[in-house]
Amino acid sequence: MASTCRVTTAQATIKFLKNQYVERDGVERPFFAGCFGIFGHGNVAGIGQALQQNEDFPYYLSRNEQAMVHTAVAFSKMSNRLRAFACTSSIGPGATNMVTGAATATVNRIPVLLLPGDIFARRNVAPVLQQLESPQTQDISVNDCFKPVSRYWDRISRPEQLLTALPEAMRVLASPAETGAVTLSMPQDVQAEALEYPSAFFDKRVWNIPRTRGDSQVVERAAGMIRAARQPLLIAGGGVLYSEASDALAKFVEQTGIPVAETQAGKGSLAYDHPQCVGAMGVTGTPGANLLARDADLIIGVGTRYADFTTASKTAFQNPVVKFININVAEFDAAKHGGLAVVADARVALDELSRLLDGYHTPAEYRERTRNFKQVWEKEVDRLFNLKHGPPVSQSEVIGVVNSVSQPRDVLVCAAGSLPGDLHKLWRTRDPKGYHLEYGYSCMGYEIAGGLGVKMAAPDREVFVMVGDGSYLMMAQEIHTSIQEGIKLNIVLLDNHGFSSIGGLSESVGSGGFGTEYRFRKNGKLEGDTVNVDFVANAASLGAAASRVRTLDELGQALIAARASSRTTVTVIEVDRNARVPGYESWWDVPVAEVSEMESVRSAREAYEKRVKRERHLF
């Protein structure tokens, strides 16, 4: 008779999770690094008790449920999706706070396991505290909100359901193609129920992370398309980094002479000074990358999902004969734009193409054009880093100072606002993991929580978090978590008195920045004096060493000191919200009101109608 062990549903969950391992390229490692959580009546006696008696599965106390999912996402992204965290919450608001984090994970294809508490499965005491009642059905709770933002969702209404739910959850989490947020909704009464589980269920299990090889005929066809191309451009996405394919990419493009443009997730695939790297692609791209994309007769997308910021809302590729080769582990992404779908691991596919393309090289005049674009762009970056503006200084100058103080292996973390666009263009990345942007969901509030996850994944690296005042005010409290855990961050807070990015967008659509500045209400409108925030006092109250600087020299000195410190620091500097980095040879589709009483809106609509005609249907 097979042996069993009697444990609760919650205890079985933790016991299973801590024995899950992944293996890639012969390297084996535990998949879960522990569990983030905030306890309430929906999980304290279940998952909380199980974590307490499993000290070898670390528990980390967060300050906000959304933030802890962001931290888990950043940790996994920094770990190339080979490690992950679980996150547990109570029922009701604790659970729904995690929905935004779940969407962030799924949009970005990053594994995270969510264990939200849920209402009683046995129902007899309903409605319990924080329960949402429905007059149509009793088989619903707020946890059903996780369904559209999860790659796998289940409700554990009986203890024995774990026997099928947990392996299925791991299958999705460990899959390079299917991964994202996995949600196992855990009714609070079921968490505490015990069952005789088969002991073998808790044996160590190793999940292989495959390096999928593309169909040989498809790869050969891709090589033929490349040989026939005169102006090919490779777009490097996040899949290059998750596959650890930077060396393979460098070999491929050095051999062929094909230039490389990078998405936000793929920035760092090549070092900024690599001869074939033409920088950022798309709406936030460099002029060289966007002009090469405009004229390209072949786009080779590697590990990209072709978001609208990459395709410039389908206006980036204007050559009427342009074709696409899409290398991606996910068939869904590989099939986009009517491209040749090479469903394969990025590193494997690039190695195979290198062998098949022996002797091929792009034309000399095309390589010279690439070199010229690169030289011109580096001069433009130097100009933007040295505007001698203000004070208040420009945002591009602040980026230049942070870039100069950071070392090659340091990590830059950011997420939303105008900073990501400027960083995508200007940041000189020197290491494949040196640039960490969450831009798939562009989630304000990710920055500091994400920085915490990056540092936990790579404690030997310095982490610089750049965050605008808007995002900071949404979610700064994980500074306190960093102090509690002794996890040091270097936070640079740019104070522009509102939402600069959307302010600029508002101006471009004729609305004049309406509702985007922190101003007192005057005569019924938000047009009074600026409402200032003492960010130094705020950060210091959370435990950070905080200071405000005015000049770039002061900023450089403060960051050098911060880098040498062992404690989380926050350095605040005011920037001129109107000193913006321009866009280059690109456009983003944000529809403008078709009718309006405002002349500025009517004018913006006229310009919009001209630009939108450049959009292409790429079947």
The pLDDT, as a whole number, for residue 505 is: 87
Residue 610 neighbours by CB under 8 Å, 6+ apart = none
Q: Which of 337, 356, 376 is the last residue of a domain?
A: 376
Among residues 24, 16, 352, the alpha carbon closest in space to that of 175 is found at 24
User: Looking at the 3D structure of the chain, how many domains does it have?
Assistant: 3
How much of the chain exceeds pLDDT 70, in percent?
A: 100
332 contact partners, CB below 8 Å, separation of at least 6: none
Residues 360 and 430 in one domain: no
Please check whether residue 525 lies inside any domain of the structure: no
CATH number of the domain encompassing residue 262: 3.40.50.1220
Task: State yes or no: pLDDT of 255 exceeds 80.
Answer: yes
Tell whether 268 is covered by a domain. yes
Task: Judge if 372 and 428 occupy the same domain.
Answer: no
Checking if the pLDDT of 315 tops 90, the result is yes
Query: Distance of CA 44 to CAs 10, 52, 66, Å?
Result: 10, 10, 18
pLDDT value at 56 more than 80: yes
Residue 258: closest CA among 397, 370, 414: 370
Q: What is the pLDDT of residues 168-193, one digit of tens each?
A: 999 999 999 999 999 999 999 999 99
Report how far residue 577's alpha carbon sits from residue 421's, in angstroms, rounded to the nearest whole number.
14
d(CA 267, CA 261): 8
Of the residues 208, 225, 254, which one is the last residue of a structural domain? 208
pLDDT in tens, 210-235: 999 999 999 999 999 999 999 999 99
Calpha distance 164→152 (Å, rounded): 13
User: Are 398 and 342 within one domain?
Assistant: no
**Within a domain: residue 581?**
no
Q: Is residue 609 part of a domain?
A: no
Does one domain contain both 59 and 196?
A: yes
Residue 492: give its domain's CATH number.
3.40.50.970
Residues near 523 by beta carbon (within 8 Å), at least 6 away in sequence: none
How are strands ordered across the β-sheet holding 84-89?
A: 59-61, 32-37, 84-89, 112-118, 181-187, 152-155
For residues 525-549, average pLDDT: 95
Please provide residue 171's backbone torsions phi and psi, each rounded to the nearest 5 degrees: -55, -45
Residues 349 and 402 in one domain: no
Q: Is 80 helix (H, G, I), strand (E, B) or coil?
A: coil
Residue 515 reports pLDDT greater than 90? no
Checking if the pLDDT of 553 tops 80, the result is yes
Mean pLDDT of all residues in 614-619: 83
High-pLDDT (> 90) share of the chain, %:
92
pLDDT of residue 618: 79
Quick check: is 44 in a domain? yes
Amino acid 69: pLDDT: 98
Res 2 pLDDT > 90:
no
397 falls within a domain = yes
In a domain, 565, yes or no: yes
pLDDT band at 616 (very low <50, low <70, confident <90, very high): confident
Joined together, the tokens standing for residue 246 give 């930077």
Q: Which domain, by its residues, includes 221?
A: 216-376
- Note whether residue 591 is domain-resident: no
Q: Are residues 114 and 185 in the same domain?
A: yes
The answer on 103 and 34 residing in a single domain is yes
| Assigned token pair, 562 | 């911060």
Domain boundary among 186, 208, 230: 208
Instruction: Say whether pLDDT at 619 is over 80.
Output: no
Q: What is the mean pLDDT of residues 472-482?
A: 97
- One DSSP character per residue, 374-434 reads HHHHHHHHHHHHT----SSBPHHHHHHHHHHHS-TT-EEEE-SSSHHHHHHHH----STTS
Whether the CB-CB separation of 98 and 193 falls below 8 Å is answered with no
- Write out pLDDT tens, residues 130-147: 889 999 999 999 999 999
Radius of gyration of the chain measured on its C-alpha atoms: 25
The mean pLDDT value for 39-61 works out to: 96
Residues 423 and 396 reside in one and the same domain? yes
Q: For the chain, first and last CA: distance in Å?
A: 58
DSSP state of 371: H
What average pLDDT does the segment 446-470 reach? 97
Q: What is the mean pLDDT of residues 554-559?
A: 98
Confidence of residue 507 (pLDDT cuts 50, 70, 90): confident
Q: What is the mean pLDDT of residues 574-603?
A: 92
For 88-133, how does the pLDDT look when each residue is reduced to its tens digit (9 = 90+)? Answer: 999 999 999 999 999 999 999 999 999 999 999 999 999 999 889 9
At residue 502 the predicted structure's pLDDT band, cuts being 50, 70 and 90, is confident
Per residue in 403-443, pLDDT (tens digit) is: 999 999 999 999 998 999 999 999 999 999 999 999 999 99
Same-domain pairing of 349 and 392? no
Please spell the DSSP secondary structure of 330-355, one letter per residue: SHHHHTGGG-EEEES-HHHHHHHHHH
Shared-domain flag, residues 402 and 539: yes
Q: Are residues 227 and 192 in the same domain?
A: no
Mean pLDDT across 474-498: 96
- H/E element, 574: strand 569-574
- Is 146 in the same domain as 25? yes
Q: In the 3-class helix/strand/coil scheme, how is 268-285 assigned residue by residue?
A: CCCCCCCCCEEEECCCCC
